[in-house]
Amino acid sequence: MCGIALLYNDQISADELQTRMQAALTAQQHRGPDDVGLWLGGGISIGHRRLSIIDQAGSKQPMMSLNGRYALSFNGEIYNYQELRPDLEGEWQFQTNGDTEVLLAGLILRGTAFIDRMEGMWAFALWDEQEKQLLLCRDRMGKKPLYYQADNSFLACASELPALRKLVGRPWLEDLNSSADFFRHGYYLPGTTAYQNVKEILPGHLLEWSLGKPYSERPYWSLQLRSFAGSQEDAATELRSRLVRAVRRRMVADVEVGAFLSGGVDSSLVVSIMCTELGVRPKTFTIGFEERSYDEREFAAQIASKLGTDHHIKVLETWDRAHLTSLILNNVGQPFADSSILPTSMVSQLAASKVKVALSGDGGDELFSGYQRYQARSILRWYLSLPKPLRSGAAKLIRALPEPMAHHSRSLIKKAHLFQDIVNRLEDETPYFAPVLYPKAQQQLLFPDLVGNGHQPPPIPEKANADDIQRMMAADALIYLPQDILVKVDRASMCWALEARAPFLDRDVVELAFSLPRSWHRSGLSGKKMLRQAAGDLLPDTIWNRRKQGFGVPIHDWFRQDLGREFEELLAKDSGPINQAEALQLLAQHRQGARDHGYRLWSLYIYLLWRGSGMSS
């Protein structure tokens, strides 16, 4: 796991190329504190920050081919590199023992077809000095980031936006279409950023750039919704086998591998496979909360005790404003509304004090129908069949009740309010491609100048006879997962130089999960049926049967205290496209306890924090 950077600009001096690159590498030092490398060619500078996981003493980057023609800067891990290497050894004289040189040799000898054989997570830049050509590529599910800005004679790319900004040397302007997307969803849509003409490589895509020619981006992989040919029992057997192989692949390292353990099904299952199937007793890491409705320590401790892991716990007692600001401005580089980035960073800090690699359960909810919004969509079918007067009466009754500030897993009234939110957003989420923060009517009041703005979401693959829940799962895997969950985990872990690996995002697991009918994943109001059938013996019933909780933080309390006052101050200084009066009305309702607007206020606060930093221009 590392940070990469590249700048081609033949209109500036070699000294300026080197100066900009050194600034970009300094901005990404957290991603790779173990080593730094920089290579200069004709009009080009390539840099690398290294976190040494495989072949720690060798595999320095940027890595050059023996003839000096090609230079590679690579972020990530190729888990099956040892399987790929023998096919190349007859045509390549290997100088190292790591995955980087296997990637370099494979691309040179086999071309882009080699990418299809790779399993792992990656973002890389391969430069051909002879032809002045560049290949950029990102892994299938978007685990590793790669941002760029380009035209026919200029290209810059980096793992993080603040580093890219150091390379470009031009002012960036806010993209109001992207701002509309952010306020709608809490993150940016695939391929876009907060800034005009600054883009990200799409997951599963590669970009080819040549001096003086238009560049092109194209997919090398896409999610294919094929149908599984065997029985449900066959699928369960195959799923277990693929899960075990996925975890084993992610144990490949020359350093100790630990695991996040939240106490939920997904992380618990990963840890159980490590222990019971692979014979490893890892160090495990949990973040706790003083507010009981958000705290999962007892479930994590139960699994750790049962499996005999070396368990470590840290409690989030209050929020660290300075660290949040640093995460948003220096790591994410644009607004990001998922407040769980704070506890994710804290558990990563805890893990980084003991190990350099940690496995996570990311992807389990999208692949195996774990989110409560899928359950809500099932209830909606019944609810919408009720007479309209009955539904209107129910909505008035729910809204007449003060909305509890407790986590939804502990309050039926809270669940009712959240369900009514989903009903109100149904038109905005049909056809579904991502959860919406605000109903359209509220968007028009809060952001009147952004009405009609926004980017077109990427197409979601369709499956014959697929129902609405299957389409939601596919959309979440292709939009919500890479734009929210994976951004959060990458920036929060890499700010402490910790590599996070996600076994559920193994290609074989992803493709199998989406080949199965929805009824195998979910029946009634219960999801993850396929996971339980495949690996039910690996976890106790208390974990399988527990309420879905997620990794939330008690921001509702924060906005009733100092954070609310800071929000008012930021809003008064520069509200941008936000309607001040409407935003203050949200805050007032929240303080009065009438409605829990915590997560909506948080999205506004993060945007104002970013805008107030001057990064929007």
- Mean pLDDT to the nearest integer, 459-482: 87
* CATH number for region 2-219: 3.60.20.10
Two tokens at 325?
A: 């600001």
The predicted-structure confidence for 281-312, as pLDDT tens digits, reads as follows 999 999 887 766 667 888 999 999 999 999 99
pLDDT band at 428 (very low <50, low <70, confident <90, very high): confident
The number of residues in the chain equals: 617
Q: Kindly tell me if the per-residue pLDDT of 407 is higher than 60.
A: no
CA dihedral 157, 158, 164, 169 (to 10 degrees): -50
Return d(Cα 189, Cα 469) in angstroms, integer.
21
Return d(Cα 202, Cα 42) in angstroms, integer.
28
* pLDDT of amino acid 180: 96
- Cβ proximity of 319 and 290 under 8 Å: no
Ranges 17-26, 447-456, 591-600: which has the least confidence: 591-600
Two tokens at 72?
A: 């590679």
Ranges 117-131, 227-241, 414-428: which has the least confidence: 414-428
Which has the higher per-residue pLDDT, 382 or 143?
143
- DSSP 8-state assignment for residue 275: I
- State the pTM of this model: 0.94
CA distances from 341 to 155, 336, 484 (A): 30, 9, 10
* pLDDT of amino acid 140: 98
What share of the chain in percent tops pLDDT 70? 95
What share of the chain in percent tops pLDDT 90? 73
* pLDDT of amino acid 401: 67
The predicted-structure confidence for 102-144, as pLDDT tens digits, reads as follows 999 999 999 999 999 999 999 999 999 999 999 999 999 999 9
**130, HSE (Cβ side, Cα atoms, 13 Å):** 6
Helix axis angle, 176-185 to 598-612, nearest 10°: 150
Is CATH 3.40.50.720 what the domain over 223-441+449-551 is classified as, yes or no?
A: no
- Mean pLDDT to the nearest integer, 237-257: 97
Edge-to-edge strand ranges of the sheet holding 120-128? 63-64, 70-78, 120-128, 133-138, 205-210, 216-219
Please name every residue paired with 575 in a beta bridge, in sequence order, or none if there are none.
Answer: none
Strand (E) or helix (H) holding 52 = none
Return d(Cα 200, Cα 217) in angstroms, integer.
11
The predicted-structure confidence for 557-586, as pLDDT tens digits, reads as follows 889 888 999 999 999 999 999 999 999 999
Please name every residue paired with 35 in a beta bridge, in sequence order, or none if there are none.
Answer: 50
Q: Kindly tell me if the per-residue pLDDT of 410 is higher than 90.
A: no
Return d(Cα 320, Cα 337) in angstroms, integer.
16
Domains 2-219 and 223-441+449-551 share a fold: no
- Mean pLDDT to the nearest integer, 580-607: 93
pLDDT band at 330 (very low <50, low <70, confident <90, very high): very high
Return d(Cα 432, Cα 440) in angstroms, integer.
14
- Cβ proximity of 419 and 379 under 8 Å: yes
CB-based burial, 595-614: b 16+ in 10 Å, e otherwise: bbbbbbbbbbbbbbbbbbee
- DSSP 8-state assignment for residue 288: E
* pLDDT of amino acid 117: 98
* pLDDT of amino acid 294: 66
Ranges 180-189, 379-388, 526-535, 576-585: which has the least confidence: 379-388
- Mean pLDDT to the nearest integer, 72-92: 97
Give residue limits of the domains in the chain: 2-219, 223-441+449-551, 554-617
Q: Kindly tell me if the per-residue pLDDT of 85 is higher than 90.
A: yes
* pLDDT of amino acid 583: 97
CA distances from 147 to 139, 225, 482 (A): 13, 28, 14
* pLDDT of amino acid 105: 98
SS in 3 state form for 291-304? CHHHCCHHHHHHHH
CA distances from 38 to 41, 102, 128, 544 (A): 10, 20, 16, 49
* pLDDT of amino acid 225: 85
* pLDDT of amino acid 57: 82
Average pLDDT, the chain: 92
Two tokens at 212?
A: 């003086």
* pLDDT of amino acid 17: 96
- DSSP 8-state assignment for residue 456: P
CB atoms within 10 A of CB 499: 26
CA dihedral 324, 325, 326, 329 (to 10 degrees): 120
Return d(Cα 189, Cα 9) in angstroms, integer.
28
- Mean pLDDT to the nearest integer, 525-550: 88
